Chain A
Amino acid sequence: DAGVTQSPTHLIKTRGQHVTLRCSPISGHKSVSWYQQVLGQGPQFIFQYYEKEERGRGNFPDRFSARQFPNYSSELNVNALLLGDSALYLCASSSGTGSESPLHFGNGTRLTVT
């Protein structure tokens, strides 16, 4: 079975630009979560979506938004990019929304903002 797939793998953007990151979950998983991982740190929670509805939001500014599609794939959008947005963006899928469903991660999109 295919795991979580993310695209693109790498991206270089300029301050002020907008970016869209994409994720396809493991087949059968209806929940998708997005995390930001800065070098040397653990992943930080951004959003969780389940059945196209937002189920949780971390402590990130409104420049960050996301959505989930009927096929359970998801997009993360970041507007007005800042240098501090440079990070590895991870998508994770799980079978449910609760803490009992462990997260399965993709390999991430490495975003560099110059």
Chain B
Amino acid sequence: QKEVEQDPGPLSVPEGAIVSLNCTYSNSAFQYFMWYRQYSRKGPELLMYTYSSGNKEDGRFTAQVDKSSKYISLFIRDSQPSDSATYLCAMSRNQFYFGTGTSLTVIP
């Protein structure tokens, strides 16, 4: 079983839609949770970084962590074509573990 599971998609939504991206994990020792955005032919860019269970909001982005269910989510409100990218979840305990990434396309 992989440490981190993420649906690879692809996910296609119309502009303005709310996007929900999710990851599950198996190890309850994970303490820190991150979301990265990766554009084609670029490195991952840190979007959100959280420690505890609950919600963290930054502009149109909301990260949600549910440690009891071992489940994390990223919500994107009012999605824009510029949000089209691959979204990677990551979590850490001593080292960082990444999901496989979800490919998102926002259609104008």
Chain B residues closer than 8 Å to A104, beta-carbon distance: 46
Question: How long is the Cα–Cα vector from A57 to B79 in the complex, in angstroms?
Answer: 38
Chain B 35-63 residues near chain A, CB threshold 8 A = 36, 41-46, 49, 51
Contact residue among A33, A56, A105 (Cβ-Cβ distance under 8 Å from B44):
A105
> Which residues on the B side are within 8 Å of A108 (C-beta)?
42-43
CB distance from A98 to the nearest CB of B (A): 8
A8 / chain B contacts, CB cutoff of 8 Å: none
**What 0/1 readout, one digit per residue, does chain B (1-45) give for beta carbons within 8 Å of chain A?**
000101010000000000000000000000110101000011111
Q: CB of A74 within 8 A of chain B?
A: no
A78 beta carbon closer than 8 Å to chain B: no
Contact indicator A99/B96 (Cβ below 8 Å): yes
Chain A interface, >50% SS class? loop
List the one stretch of A14-22, A37-45, A62-70 in contact with chain B. Answer: A37-45
Give chain A's interface residue range (CB within 8 Å of chain B): 20 to 34
A99 vs B31: C-alpha distance when bound (angstroms)? 8
A62, chain B: closest CB distance, angstroms: 19
Contact check, B100 vs A40: say whether CB atoms are below 8 A apart: yes
Instruction: Collect the chain A residues with CB atoms within 8 Å of residue B43's CB.
Output: 4, 90, 105-108
Please, which residue of chain B has its CB at the minimum distance from the CB of A103?
A: B96
A102 to B43, CA, bound (A): 14
On chain B, the residues within 8 Å of A4 by CB distance are 43
| Bitwise interface map of B from 82 to 96 toward A, beta carbon under 8 Å scored 1, else 0 | 000000101011111
5 interchain residue pairs of minimum CB distance: A42-B98, A99-B92, A105-B43, A107-B43, A105-B44
Chain A residues near B (Cβ < 8 Å): 4, 33, 40-45, 48, 56, 58, 90, 99-100, 102-108, 110
